Amino acid sequence: MMTYKTTGTCSREILFDIEEVNGEKILHNVQFVGGCNGNLKGIGKLVEGMTVSEVIKKLEGTTCGMKNTSCPDQLANALKNV
Per residue in 17-63, pLDDT (tens digit) is 999 999 999 999 999 999 999 999 999 999 999 999 999 999 999 99
pLDDT band at 15 (very low <50, low <70, confident <90, very high): very high
What pLDDT is attached to residue 9? Answer: 96
Contacts of 3 (CB under 8 A, 6+ apart): 13, 14, 15
pLDDT(4) > 90: yes
Q: What is the number of other CB atoms lying within 10 angstroms of the CB of residue 78?
A: 22
pLDDT(81) > 90: no
What pLDDT is attached to residue 33? Answer: 98
